[in-house]
Structure 1
Amino acid sequence: MSNRFSRRKFVKFAGGVIAGSAAVGSAPLVNLLAANAQSSTGYKVVGYFENWSQYRQGGGKFLPAQIDPSLYTHINFAFGIFGYITKGIAPNNPRLTGDYRIQPIEWNDQTVLYPEIQKLKLKNPNLKTLLSIGGWGFNDPQDPIQIGTYTYNLFSQMAASAAGRQQFIYSALEYAQKYKFDGIDLDWEYPGYQGRGGRPEDFANFLALVREFRTAISGRNFLLTIASSAIVPSGVPDQYRSNPGSYFQWLAQCAQYLDWLNVMSYDYHGAFPDDKVTGMNAPLPQDSTPKGPFSVKNTIEAYLAAGIPNSKIVMGIPTYGRTFKVSSPLSLTDNGPGKSYSSVGPAGISTVTPGVLSYYEIQNRISSGSLTRRWHEPTLTPYAYNSQTSEWVSYDDTESIGYKTSYLIEKKLGGAMIWAIGLDQFQSGFPLIKRVKSILDNPALRPKLPSYFVSGGRRYNQYSFLCTHNSFANSDENWTAANQFNTITKQLNDGVRALMLDIYNAEFDSLLGGKGVYLLHNFNPNASFPGINYALPLKHLYDALNEVVAFLKNNRNEVVTIFLEDYVYPDTNKLKEELDKVTGLKELIYDPDNNPNWSVRVTGEWPLLSEMIEWNKRLIIFSDKNHNNLTTKIGVAYDRNYILQNFWSLGVGGTDWDCQSRWRDGYHYQIVPEGTPYSQWRYADPQLHPKVVEKKSALFLFNHFRDTPTRITAALDNTYDKIMDRIENRCCNSAFLPKEKTTKQLPNFVAVDFWQEPVLYNNKAANVVQELNRRWENKLGCANR
C-alpha cells in the first residue's frame, strides 16, 4: 500500500505467473487464539485506515469514528514509520533520527487517531488492530510528500544487521503495547527493489527479520503480518524475474513466521510507464490484455503453488479505481479495455490524485451521468467511460466484489483485505465492504462463478454439457418438424452448450433458396423444393454459425461444441466455403488435430477449459465424416477420432433403453462382450486416435431421444430419474464397460429433444448435467454418488 494509494511497477513475463513450486514447512505453533479474531465463519476481514483521509475535501473527509467496526475482524492503521520525524510532528525540523525506532506520521496520530481506532473495540470486542509500518511512499525516493526522499533505504539498512533488526523489533513491540495495537503489519515495498533503496541481500535479511520477530513474540497474543506483492516487482534481481516461482517460494519461506499475508491483488494495470493501453485494475479470472499474465487468479495460484497455506493468504480487494485519458475515440460499441491513452485521468475532488478515484467519486459521476458503467465479462469487473471527455475508469463494484469474495471462498483462503476503508462509499454505508462481509458470513449468498473458473484445473473432457438434438429445427422459427422450442440463440442464452446440426448441400436454385449448405433432414437433391419432406423452412449453415459466433463474442468465458451430421461430404471445399462466410469463426475454432498450443491427436489429452478460454479457442466442431483425410484443412474434427457415442435412437416406441455403442463396422452397433480388453471395445472405436485410447480421454456423447419425438414423449423421457437411471444402470454396467476394466466415465454431452421438458423444477436434462458436473468436480465415477 502507499501513503496515497498503492502504486507499483511489475515485471512482465511470458507463460503466466510462476515457473515452479516448492512446499515449505508449517508455521511454529504459537498460541494466538486471543489475538486471531475471525468472522462468524472463520474468515478474516482486514481493513486499512489511511491516516491522511482526515484531510480530504468535498465530502471525503474520513475519521476512525466513521468506521463500522462490525464489518471487520482486523483494522490496520496506515501508517507508522521508523527512523524519521516528519513535518507533521516537527514542522520546522523534519529529520532522520539515526536509529530504527517507530515514529508516528501525523501530528494527531498518538493523541487522536490511535485512541479513536482503539475505541472501536468497545463496539466490537473481537476486533483486533494492527499498526502497519512503511507503505509505498516510505520507500519512494521521489515521494511527493517528501518522506521517502529521506527514508527510502531505511528498511534495507535496518534489516542488514542483527542489531538493527533487534532495535526495530523491540521498538515496534513497545510502541504497539503503548498504543494498544494487537499486532504489526510490515509494508516494505519491496525488499531487493533496485531504485527504491533495495539490494539483493534484502531477501535473506527480510527472512531473518520475520523469523526473529516471531521468536520475540513467541507465547504472546500478538500478530505479525506483511503486505505482499501480487506479482514479481520489476526492480528485484534478475534471478527472481527470470524464475518467478522462486520469488513466491521466498514468500513461502517468510510465511512460516507470519500469521498471514495481505496480498495486494490490485494495481495490475494503471497509467504506469509499462502500460501502453488501458487495462483493468484488478481482473479476476484473466488479464484484460490478451494472453497477459496479470490477474487475481494467477496471483493466488502462484501463492498456493509455492506452498503458502490457503489460510495465510488474505486476498486484497480495492475500493478505488484507476483512470486514464484515452487518445482513441470511445463509442457505444467500442469502449472496453485495450485503448491507447495520452495521460492519467483527472483527479477527484476528494482524493486529489490524478489517475485514481475512490469508489464514491466513481459512483457520484455515474449517478450524475458523467460516466457510463459497462461490464467486462472476461475479467469479471466493471469499467466506466465518458465518450465526450475520453475519461476511462477501471474499478470494482458490488457485482465484481461478489465474484472476488466467492473466489476466495472457493480457494479456501484466509479472508479479504480492503484497501481502503475510507475509499468505499462510506456516505451510503460502505456497500463494497458490506458485500464482502455478508458473503463471508453467509457463503450461501455468494454468486456462482463461471464453471471454467471454479475448476480451472479441469480439462475440456472433464465437464458435462447440455446438448440439443436437431438444434436448428425449432418451433420459434416455424420448422415443420421441430425438435426444440427455441432458436439456437435462445438455447445458448438459456444454458445449452452443444448443438447437433444436420447439413446438406444444394447444387441448384429453388423457390425456397439458392445454392449452398443448408440445415435439413432427408434432403432429396432431385426435388424441386429441397427439404420439403422434413424440416421447412430452409436455413443456411452460416446463419446458424453466425448466431453461435455472436453468442461467443458476447460471452467471453463460454465454450460451445457443434456436432455435424454431414451430408456435404466428401466435398470439403463446399463446407469450407460455408465456414468462410462467417466473420470471426476461424479465430474461435479449436482444432484438436492441429492446434499449435495443444494437439489432442499428439498428446492424447484435452487442454484445460480455462486454457481454451485464454486462447480464445472456444468453438469445437465435429463431423461424422473425416474431412482431415483430404488436402484442405478446415478445422473440423472427425468425431470417431475422439468420441464414444451410444446408439442414436431409443428404438421403436421409445422402448430401447440399453446403452450400446453407435459404431460397429462403420455404422451398426453391438453390446460389448463382458471382459473385452479396452483396446478392442467397440466403444473404443478402431478409428479413435491411438493417444486418445492410451490416455482414456475420449469424449462420451450420450444420445437420449426417439426416432419421432414430440413434446409429450420428451416430457416422459427426459426426467432426471430416467436419464440418470439409464446412465448409471445401462451405460455404466457391463453392457457398456467391462466390470474389471471400467473407467467410470461420465457423459460429456447429454443430448435430448425439447430440452425444457418436463417443466417440473429440477427434473430435466439440465439438472442431470448439473449433477454430472458435481461428480466431475469431486472426481466421482458415473455410478458413484
Structure 2
Amino acid sequence: MRHAFSRPGRMLAGLFLPLLVAMSGAAFAQSSPPYRIVGYATGWIPSQTKDVGKIDTLIFAFAQLKNGNVGLDDDHAKGLQTLIALKSVNPKLKVAVSVGGWTVGGFSEAASTAAGRQQFADSAARMISTHHADGLDVDWEYPGHHESGIKSSPQDKANFTLLLKSVRASLDRVGAKDHKHYTLSIAIADGPFVSDIDIAAINPSLDWFNLMTYDFVNANTPTTGHHTGLHASALIAGDGRTTDRAVKEFLAAGVPPQKLVIGAALYGREFADVKPDHNGLYQTYGHFQSGHNWPELKQDFINKQGYVRYWDDAAQAPWLWNATTHRFITYDDPQSIAAKMAYIKAEHLGGIMYWEQTNDPADELLNDMWKGLNN
C-alpha cells in the first residue's frame, strides 16, 4: 500500500531519500492486506463497478515497450484512467500497469546493456508517476525463451535480475519524490518457463509474484488436461504443471509464501478430436478448438449440448466432455475457485490473481474469490 509522507525541505530531501525509501517499503509491508485479490484488466465493464471494493489491485494490460522505452499510447492511457477513476468508489484500490504479454518482444534487447536497463527502468517509473498509477508489473514471456516468437538470449537470466534491480531503484527514486511506494510485481510462469530466471535473485526486488498458474495445457501441449488445476491429477504425466507444484517451486527458491499470488482463469480452453479414454482427460487431441469465457461456459456448455461436467477430486478441478463430438473443455468454476481459496489460506499465500476482468462481466467468480478469502 502506498503511504504519504510530510514533504521535507528541499535541502533535506536528498539526505533523507534512502530513509524515505526504507520507510515506504516498511509501511507497505505492514499495511498489506492479509490476502490480495489482483485482477488483470484490458478494460472495464461499468456493471462491474459494484464489485470494485472486492479488488485490492487492478493491473492494466498493457503498456508498450518500443525502442527500449516503456509507455502508453493515447488509447491505452485513457483505458488506464478509467481504472484509476474507480478509486472514487474504492479509495483503497491500487492500479498498476503491466508491460509486455505473450508475443511482446524487446525485453531481451532492452535488458542486454546497463544503458538499456536504465532506459527501460526510468521510462517505466516516469510512466507510472505521470499517469498517477501505483506500480509496475513486468510480463516478459519469457526470459531465455522464444516460444512466443520473441528474441531471447543465453544472457537473459542474469540480465533479467539486473533489469528488475534497475526498475526497483527507479521506482524508489521517483517514489521518494512523489511520497509513494510504487509496487513492482511480475507475471511469471513455472516449470520449464523459469529455467532462465534466477528466482532467488529477483525476489528482493519484488513486492509479489503473479504466478500464471493457468494455460498448463494449450495449443502447444501434446494432450488435454487441467489448464489451471490445483493439484496433480492421477492421469497427469511426470512433472506436469499444477498450481501446487508451481508454489512449491517458488517456495524452494526462498520466496516467502505471502509474496506468492496464484492465478485463476475466467475462461476455459476447448480441444477437438480428443481420444475418448478417461472422458478425454489427459488424452491426445486433433486440434485446439477455442477459448470460452465464463458466461459462455455457463450459457452454452456446462451440462448442455452434450457436454457433461466431471470433477477430478485429486486435481480439485472440473472438466467437460462431449462423448458424441469428442470435445474437451478445461476451466475454473466456483468449486475449483473455492478449493484454491482454501489452499491459499492453508499455505499462507499472498492471494489470488486472475485473467481477465472483462471475461466475467457479472463478477461471479470474483465474488467466489472474495467470499473464499473473507469467510
| TM-score normalized with structure 1 length | 0.42
User: Does 2:115 match 1:163?
Assistant: yes
Query: What's 1:54 paired with?
Result: none
Distance 2:128 2:294 in 1: 31
Q: Is the 8 A contact 2:71 2:124 kept in 1?
A: no
User: Does 2:201 match 1:201?
Assistant: no
Mapping for residues 138-153 of structure 1, pairs under 5 Å: 138=104, 152=105
Identical aligned pairs, as a percentage?
31
- Moved >4 Å (runs of 4+): 33-39
Mark the CA change 1:215 to 1:70 in structure 2 (over 3 Å): closer, same or farther.
same
Query: What's 2:140 paired with?
Result: 188
Mark the CA change 1:367 to 1:207 in structure 2 (over 3 Å): closer, same or farther.
closer
Q: Is the 8 A contact 1:35 1:222 kept in 2?
A: no
Q: Which runs of 5+ in 2 are unaligned?
A: 1-20
Distance 1:191 1:339 in 2: 30
Distance 2:26 2:41 in 1: 24
Query: What's 2:215 paired with?
Result: 267
User: Does 2:354 match 1:434?
Assistant: no
Query: What's 2:281 paired with?
Result: 337
Task: Give the deviation of 1:389 after TM superposition.
Answer: 2.6
User: Does 2:250 match 1:303?
Assistant: yes
Distance 1:35 1:29 in 2: 10
Q: Which residue, out of 208, 211, 226, partners 2:186?
A: 226
Task: Give the deviation of 1:33 after TM superposition.
Answer: 6.4
Cα shift readout 1:215-234 (whole Å, capped 9, x = no counterpart): 2233441111111112222x
Distance 1:326 1:191 in 2: 34
Q: Which residue, out of 281, 287, 290, partners 2:227?
A: 281
Distance 1:29 1:305 in 2: 27
Distance 2:248 2:202 in 1: 17
Distance 1:137 1:251 in 2: 22
Mark the CA change 1:327 to 1:284 in structure 2 (over 3 Å): closer, same or farther.
closer
Distance 2:135 2:48 in 1: 22
Query: What's 2:41 paired with?
Result: 49
Mapping for residues 27-426 of structure 1, pairs under 5 Å: 29=22, 31-32=24-25, 42-51=34-43, 63=45, 66-67=48-49, 68-83=51-66, 99-104=67-72, 108-111=75-78, 113-138=79-104, 152=105, 154-194=106-146, 196-218=150-172, 219=176, 220-233=180-193, 240=195, 250-272=198-220, 274-275=221-222, 277-287=223-233, 288-329=235-276, 334-345=278-289, 354=290, 356-366=291-301, 369-370=304-305, 371-424=307-360, 426=361
Task: Give the deviation of 1:35 after TM superposition.
Answer: 6.0
Q: Is the 8 A contact 1:47 1:74 kept in 2?
A: yes
Mark the CA change 1:289 to 1:325 in structure 2 (over 3 Å): closer, same or farther.
same
Distance 1:306 1:63 in 2: 38
Mark the CA change 1:36 to 1:433 in structure 2 (over 3 Å): closer, same or farther.
farther
Distance 1:384 1:169 in 2: 44
Stretch of structure 1 that moved more, 123-132 or 382-391:
382-391
Q: Secondary structure at the match of 2:115?
A: helix
Q: Secondary structure at the match of 2:319?
A: strand
Distance 2:167 2:218 in 1: 35
Q: Is the 8 A contact 1:270 1:280 kept in 2?
A: no
Q: Secondary structure at the match of 1:369?
A: coil
Distance 1:368 1:286 in 2: 24
Task: Give the deviation of 1:65 after TM superposition.
Answer: 6.4
Q: Which has the higher helix share?
A: 2
Distance 2:254 2:366 in 1: 29
Mapping for residues 720-731 of structure 1, pairs under 5 Å: none
Query: What's 2:7 paired with?
Result: none
Task: Give the deviation of 1:372 after TM superposition.
Answer: 2.0
Distance 1:210 1:135 in 2: 17
Task: Give the deviation of 1:108 after TM superposition.
Answer: 2.4
One-letter identity of the residue aligned with 1:200: P
Task: Give the deviation of 1:36 after TM superposition.
Answer: 6.8
One-letter identity of the residue aligned with 2:232: Q
Q: Is the 8 A contact 1:38 1:73 kept in 2?
A: no
What RMSD over aligned residues (CA atoms) do the two structures have, in Å?
Answer: 2.3
Q: Secondary structure at the match of 2:286?
A: strand
Task: Give the deviation of 1:422 after TM superposition.
Answer: 1.4
Mark the CA change 1:231 to 1:64 in structure 2 (over 3 Å): closer, same or farther.
farther
Distance 1:37 1:74 in 2: 17
Distance 2:109 2:258 in 1: 32
Distance 2:211 2:280 in 1: 27
Query: What's 1:729 paired with?
Result: none
Distance 1:377 1:284 in 2: 10
Distance 1:79 1:121 in 2: 19
Max Rg structure = 1
Task: Give the deviation of 1:386 after TM superposition.
Answer: 2.2
Distance 2:347 2:157 in 1: 28
Distance 1:34 1:75 in 2: 21
Distance 1:205 1:291 in 2: 31
Cα shift readout 1:20-79 (whole Å, capped 9, x = no counterpart): xxxxxxxx955246767978x61111100024xxxxxxxxxx536634311210000011
Distance 1:385 1:369 in 2: 11
Query: What's 2:17 paired with?
Result: none
Distance 2:31 2:52 in 1: 13
One-letter identity of the residue aligned with 1:437: W
Q: Is the 8 A contact 2:303 2:309 kept in 1?
A: no
Q: Is the 8 A contact 1:37 1:127 kept in 2?
A: no
Distance 2:38 2:208 in 1: 11
Distance 1:37 1:394 in 2: 38
Cα shift readout 1:500-529 (whole Å, capped 9, x = no counterpart): xxxxxxxxxxxxxxxxxxxxxxxxxxxxxx
